[in-house]
Amino acid sequence: MKVRIKFSKEGPVRFIGHLDIMRYFQKAIRRAGIDIAYSTGFSPHQIMSFASPLSVGHESCSEYFDVELNSITDTEDIKNRLNRTMAEGIQILQVAVLDEKEGNAMASVAAANYLISFRDSVSLPDDWKEKLTAFYEKDKIPVIKKTKKGEREIDLKETIYQLEIREDQVYMLLDAGSGSNMKPGFVLETFCAAENISLPEYPFRVRRLETYKRTGEGKLVPLIP
């Protein structure tokens, strides 16, 4: 049966890349003695699928992956067993048995929200908040996006579902679909470029708050509702 696991990634472990996080959980599942299903063949691997990769350096309190299990005690037990063998900064938050009809984590992702702050090294104009609000309130924000296949023009506005200023941080709900994923840093870089605000390298601190899928009615709900 399929089980979805939600975890956080905070503190020093934010510097571990996505592939290494996958390897980390393969080992964690063995340590926790969870009865995971393996592929067949000469070197069997665990049947596991991650939702959306998190950039190195970003924190998150809503990372997800799915596993196929042969047998299951109960979700609370799986959560506890995993939590007993986690590294500092990674915590299992939720474990849920999935409906057979449920699509895999990666394909399900539709949106994600983030909280972003500027590092001290960024010098912002005093009225940056007003400017950012004005930027967001435009009808269209045409922008060139570099992809693997080359450059193409998109409307940034379509990928931003929500943008708010919360004290000195920026909250954004963004498209995170597999073909249309928008990175929060890209939104702010576009804004800063438009306002001639020069940015040092690594100007933002980013924290992913939740990852959403879309229901049949088109509503956004967390991957574990």
Partner 1 sequence: MRTLALSDEILMQVEKPARYIGGEINAVMKDPEAVKVRFAMCFPDVYEIGMSHLGIQILYGMLNSYEDVWCERVYSPWVDLDAVMRKEQIPLFALESQDPIRTFDFLGITIQYEMCYTNILQVLDLSGIPLLAKDRTEEDPIVIGGGPCTYNPEPICDFFDLFYIGEGETRYRELISLYEDCRDRGLSRQDFLKKAACIPGIYVPSLYEVSYHEDGTIKEMKPLEEGIPERILKEMVTEVSDTYYPDKPVVPFIKVTQDRVVLEIMRGCIRGCRFCQAGQLYRPVRERDVEFLKKYAIAMLENTGHEEISLSSLSSSDYQKLPELIDFLIEECSRRKVNISLPSLRIDAFSLDVMNKVQDVKKSSLTFAPEAGSQRLRNVINKGLTEEVILQGAKLAFEGGWTRVKLYFMLGIPFETEEDIQGIAELCNKIAAEFYDTVPKEKRNGRVQIVASTSFFIPKPFTPFQWAPQCRKEDFLNKAYLTRTAIMSQLNQKSIKYNWHEADASVMEGILARGDRKVNQVILKAYEKGCFYDAWGEYYKHDVWLETFEECGVDPDFYTVRERSEDEIFPWDFIDCGVTKAFLLREWKRAAEAVVTPNCRMQCQGCGAARFGTGVCFDKHAGVTEIQTETEENGNEGTN
CB–CB of 94/80 below 8 Å? no
Query: Binding partner 1 by CB under 8 A: which of 15, 77, 130, 194?
Result: 15
* Count of chain residues binding partner 1 (CB under 8 A): 33
Q: Alpha carbon of 26 to those of 36, 168, 211: distances in Å?
A: 10, 38, 22
Tokens of 49: 């699928």
Please list every residue from 135 through 154 that binds partner 1, using CB under 8 A. none
Of the residues 1, 3, 4, 17, which one makes contact with partner 1 according to CB under 8 A: 17
Instruction: Decide: is 28 part of the binding site for partner 1 (CB under 8 A).
Output: yes
Q: How far is the CB of 44 from partner 1 (least distance, A)?
A: 5
Query: What are the backbone angles phi and psi of residue 215, rounded to the nearest 5°?
Result: -80, 170
57 sits near partner 1 (criterion: CB under 8 A): yes
Closest distance between partner 1 and the C-beta of residue 118, in Å?
13
Minimum distance, C-beta of residue 107 to partner 1, in the bound complex (Å): 26
Question: Contact 177/110 with Cβ under 8 angstroms?
Answer: yes
Q: Rule CB under 8 A: is residue 171 a binding residue for partner 1?
A: no
| Residue 2: strand pairing partners | 68
Classified as helix, coil or strand, 158 is helix
Given 1, 107, 119, 168, the residue binding partner 1 (CB under 8 A): 119
Q: How far is the CB of 86 from partner 1 (least distance, A)?
A: 8
Q: Where are any strands of DSSP class E within 24-168?
A: 48-50, 59-68, 90-97, 109-118, 142-147, 150-155, 160-166
C-alpha to C-alpha distance for 188 and 6, rounded to whole angstroms: 27
Residues 82-101 that bind partner 1 (CB under 8 A): 85, 87-89
Binding site for partner 1 (CB under 8 A): 10-13, 15-17, 20, 23-24, 26-31, 33, 38, 42-44, 56-57, 85, 87-89, 119, 121, 200-202, 205
